[in-house]
Amino acid sequence: MKEEENKKNLKKIKNILSDDTSKGNDFDILFLVDATGSMSQYIIAAKEETKNISAQLRKLYPEKMFKYGYIFYRDPIDSKGDQHEVIDLTDDVNSLSEKIGKISATGGGDEPEDWVGAYKLANEKITWRNGTKVIMHLADAGAHGKLFTSYDKYPEEESKLIAELEKCAQKGIKIFGYTIKEECHQSFNECSKIYRSKGGSFEIVKFFGIPEPMQPMINRMDCKYKMNPMGGMMNPMGSMMPMGGMMNMGGMMMNNMNMMHMNCMMPMNSMMSMSAPMMNSQMNVNMNFQMNAINSVQSILDK
């Protein structure tokens, strides 16, 4: 029985590999984005950066015919009023941005979200072409099912997600899972194991718009401070705080230059070009959204 299973898996792998070699110039990118309440920054980034991503990829790979689509998913399993929203693949990025602009981050009940619903839509509602197919999945919460979230109360979702992942692997879709918070790492890790066992490609990338330890501090500062063109930081009264000065943030004294040094020690995906308090959090999310999308495409095409 095990030998039969191995033969089936080998056949699937061969099908995916033969599909890779006959791809041509069509390149489809589907963003799967958790659209529950905590994800508003990433929806804004999707709206603002899709055009930039498209323009840069067109410049880097003029021979490729890129199309982009979005699935914004929520959690109707636990919150019955939640609904997913689908934008099919298109090369018209202007209309795409307009559609994304109507999406808002709402809903979500318990911690896990409806990954099954998201991947089911990717399999059934997206008009994939015969070329390269990529899913870029951004999440800050894991999937239902005990394998994916050990404390979950909907264990029946586990087998459903495995089935949808298998369908994606059969289509030869390459998946990049971006972990915005550690809570979803277990789900991405298990999905990656399952996907690879079916012959698929599933890479996990740590994608933090803002480094987690600094998030509460940045959120407090966004409404109080703005960046000064000279590199210092303006307080609410408009006077400038010097680069090397001490700042009191939420009761915590921090040296601005030291914070800049901390940023230089971060991985490239999380690094902010200036010290954390001087960088608008949304700007940083946008920058990382764009950079990670382009890096993912390059990791496929520049092999």
The per-residue pLDDT for 1 is: 53
Q: CA 205 to CA 180: how far, in whole Å? A: 9
d(CA 259, CA 273): 12
Tens digits of residue pLDDT in 171-190: 999 999 999 998 899 999 99
Cβ contact 135:174 at 8 Å: yes
C-alpha distances (whole Å) from 264 to each of 50, 171, 218 are 27, 41, 17
Residue 252 has pLDDT above 70, yes or no: no
Residues 32, 138 contacting (CB under 8 angstroms): yes
Which residue ranges make up each domain of the chain?
14-207, 212-280
**CA–CA dist 36, 126 (Å, integer):** 21
Query: Residue 111: its pLDDT value, please?
Result: 81
> Which two three-digit tokens encode residue 131?
């070329």
232 or 24, which is more confident = 24
The rounded Cα 196 to chain-centroid distance in angstroms is: 20
Q: With 90 as the cut, is the pLDDT of residue 97 above it?
A: yes
Neighbours of 166 (CB within 10 A): 17
Which CATH code, of 1.10.10.10, 3.40.50.410, 3.90.1150.10, 3.40.50.970, is assigned to 14-207? 3.40.50.410
pLDDT band at 150 (very low <50, low <70, confident <90, very high): confident
DSSP H helices, the chain, are 2-21, 40-60, 93-101, 115-124, 157-170, 185-197, 215-222, 256-264, 281-301
pLDDT tens digits along 207-239: 765 544 444 443 443 333 333 333 333 443 343
d(CA 92, CA 68): 8
Using a pLDDT cut of 70, give the percent of the chain over it.
Answer: 68
* Helix, strand, coil % over all residues of the chain, rounded to 5: 45, 20, 35
pLDDT tens across 102-118, in order?
A: 999 887 667 899 999 99
Render pLDDT for 75-90 as a digit per residue (tens, 0 to 9): 999 888 899 999 999 9
pTM for this model (two decimals): 0.73
What backbone phi and psi angles, to 5 degrees, belong to 151? -100, 10
pLDDT of residue 18: 47
